[in-house]
Amino acid sequence: MTKVAVVFADGCEEVEGLSVVDVLRRLNIGCDMVGLDKLKINGDHKIILSCDKVVNDSLLDYDLVAFPGGRTGAINLRDNKKLAQLMIERHKQGKWDAAMCAAPIALGRYEVLKDTDFTCYPGFEKEILEDCPSANFKTDITVTDNEHKVITSRGPATAWAYAYAIAEALGVDTTALKQGMLYDYLAKNIDESL
């Protein structure tokens, strides 16, 4: 069975992580909420998140590991030495990794973004390119680099696009769920409402 871990750190952008968990579970993809250093995580907007487990070596067993953003959460992910070691090892093994909003700063620091197309919340690309100058910044809503097995996205409003990109990278058909959640309707009509 395909398994995904979403890693939550204090100060994370809750909607960015929970959107991934919600979409993947609706698609019957195994998805664990993993706390960076404890089971109860305090999100950036004071929402307490109850995780299934805490980061450990089992992170190597997941088909994909995803990070939500939020500046404080992203810094906590970036600066955690245990997580860094595991993510570097995952990358060496050719496994999928994903990060959105500010969280690509962690992948940049780990050099997972070396020679990789990526996106992030506007402005964070400067920090990422300082740590990983060979990375290639794009302004797309989501960027899937199939060669390097990395998915990135921009910010809270792009969380569903990010979640669907994760599922699709894992080979899951998202067509029916996009229709059922009215995602296609939103994507089609968003320009008209602006």
The identity of residue 15, as a single letter, is: V
Please state at what angle helix 14-26 crosses helix 159-169, rounded to 10 degrees. 40
What per-residue confidence (pLDDT) applies to 1? 85
**What integer pLDDT is reported at residue 5 of this predicted model?**
98
Q: Would you say 177 and 75 are in contact if contact means Cβ atoms under 8 Å apart?
A: no
Percent of the chain with pLDDT over 70: 98
Domain that holds residue 80: 3-193
Block residue for tokens 């952008």: 13
pTM for this one? 0.96
**What phi and psi, each to the nearest 5 degrees, are found at residue 158?**
-100, 10
- For range 117-135, the mean pLDDT: 98
Mean pLDDT, residues 61-86? 98
* Number of compact structural domains in the chain: 1
Closest CA to 55 of 73, 72, 37: 37
- 152 within 8 A of 99, measured Cβ to Cβ: yes
Q: How many CB atoms lie within 10 A of CB 183?
A: 17
Residue 90's alpha-carbon distances to 41, 43, 99, in angstroms, are: 24, 26, 14
**Higher-pLDDT residue of 45, 189:** 45
pLDDT at 41: 98
Under the banding of pLDDT at 50, 70 and 90, the label for residue 189 is confident
If you average pLDDT over every residue of the chain, what do you get?
A: 96
**Residue 192 pLDDT more than 90?**
no
Count how many Cα atoms sit within 13 Å of the Cα of residue 175 in the half-sphere of its side chain.
Answer: 1
Q: Which two tokens stand for residue 190?
A: 């968003």
CATH number of the domain encompassing residue 49: 3.40.50.880
**What was the pLDDT predicted at 191?**
64
Q: What's residue 188's pLDDT?
A: 82
